[in-house]
Amino acid sequence: MKAFFIERYGKQNGWMGDVAEPVVGAHDVLIKVHASSVNPLDLKIRSGEFKMILPYQMPLILGNDVAGVVIGSGAAVKHFKPGDEVYARAPENAIGTFAERIAVNEQAVALKPANLDMTEAACMPLVALTAWQALVDVANVQKGQKVLIHAGSGGVGTVAIQLAKHLGAFVATTTSTANVAWIKALGADLVIDYKQQDFAIELRDYDVVLNSLGGDVLEKSLKVLKPGGQLISLSGPPTARFAREQGLSWLLGLVMRLLSSGVRRKARKHGVGYSFLFMRADGVQLQKITALIEAGVIKPVVDRTFPFDQIADALHYVGQGRARGKVAIVIDSESPSP
């Protein structure tokens, strides 16, 4: 089958070529891929940024998001059958959605939202699960709380704004001048133009900050939180707790404890909590997200769509950091419509 893969780590690596068919385990569903999407995580995996914590074997098919049709299943699969239209974020140790077919553990899979086409559905799993796990699992956002979401025009940001509003929060976000009006229309209560304003001066007494940006933004975010608030970072630094959850060596755990010691110390000084979140695949949570999508609470934001043979161009486009929402990849142009 055709797939986009790397044979070594590097920022510009990647080739389209023939690879072996996926091996279907007892708990796997075999999915004919109709669409995928590009996440910044794909770029980080390709460059080798996560090679210490995610030791992939080469050649490695890239891609984390998938929407498609079940065409086969392992002997122990209970919840899906051939013909089901599904979507998923592939488990982190079994990625490879930039391909014509992929085998995915059924625990990571959910039925595709009926009101989305395959391209729209493929743009949702990773970012929606990230937003859910940050705002629901970690922060336990409640009605009336104040939430700051950095990079509101990005893939995670666009979904997190919608989810936080659904949870009843007052939502502030940061974005560039060109996106201010657009982000307000998406539902944000307060939009900070980072080119004209300093969020650390403008905002105070927030309950939650969701950060996906660099270290300077991370530390400044501590200042906008009220005592007892929570700073949740998607971009690091990772913590020793994360190392334990990933089953990493004690040495890596020590390294991560040291890497995060500065921000954890400053968080304690401000009387707030710090968490590093590396989202996980979860079909049960994804099914809850499906219900919100079908109810019109959360809508996908698709910036551009690229054909299968232009995945390298799609990765380059996302790497420029100017996409609004998600960038989709059409693997099979005969995708069924909702």
Give the pLDDT score at 336: 56
pLDDT digits (tens, 9 = 90+) for 271-300: 999 999 999 999 999 999 999 999 999 999
- Is the pLDDT at 120 greater than 60? The verdict is yes
- CA-based R_g, the chain, Å: 20
Q: Tell me: cis bond preceding 237? Omega within 30 of 0 counts.
A: yes
Contacts of 28 (CB under 8 A, 6+ apart): 73, 74, 77, 103, 104, 105, 106
CATH C-level class of 127-276: alpha beta
- If you average pLDDT over every residue of the chain, what do you get? 94
d(CA 322, CA 135): 24
d(CA 183, CA 191): 7
Work out the percent of the chain whose per-residue pLDDT is above 90. Answer: 80
* Confidence band of 333 (pLDDT split at 50, 70, 90): low
Give the pLDDT score at 12: 87
Q: Domain-by-domain residue ranges, the chain? A: 2-123+300-330, 127-276
Give the pLDDT score at 288: 98
Mean pLDDT, residues 290-313 taken together: 97
- Is the pLDDT at 335 greater than 60? The verdict is no
Cross-strand partners of 73? 29
Q: What is the DSSP string of 29-72?
A: EEEEEEEEEE-HHHHHHHHTTTTTTS-PPSSEE---EEEEEEEE
Which structure tokens are listed for 190? Answer: 């307060």
- Is the pLDDT at 262 greater than 90? The verdict is no
The closest of 39, 44, 31 to 1, measured between CA atoms, is: 31
- Please give the residue that has the higher pLDDT: either 260 or 267: 267
Q: What is the bridge-based pairing of β-strands 65-73 and 85-89? A: antiparallel
pLDDT digits (tens, 9 = 90+) for 146-191: 999 999 999 999 999 999 999 999 999 999 988 899 999 999 999 9
Tell me which CATH homologous superfamily contains domain 2-123+300-330.
Medium-chain alcohol dehydrogenases, catalytic domain (3.90.180.10)
- Is the pLDDT at 242 greater than 70? The verdict is yes
Strand order across the 15-18 sheet: 15-18, 2-6, 60-61
Phi, psi of 169 (to 5 degrees): -85, 155
Mean pLDDT, residues 63-85 taken together: 97
Rounded alpha-carbon distances, angstroms, from residue 274 to 134, 210, 221, 236: 12, 10, 11, 10
**Residue-wise over 132-156: b if at least 16 C-beta within 10 A, else e?**
bbbbeebbebeeebbbbbbbbbbbb
Tokens 């799993």 identify what position? Answer: 125
* Confidence band of 255 (pLDDT split at 50, 70, 90): confident
Give the pLDDT score at 334: 64
Tokens 């068919």 identify what position? Answer: 21
Q: Which run of H or of E encompasses 165?
A: helix 155-166
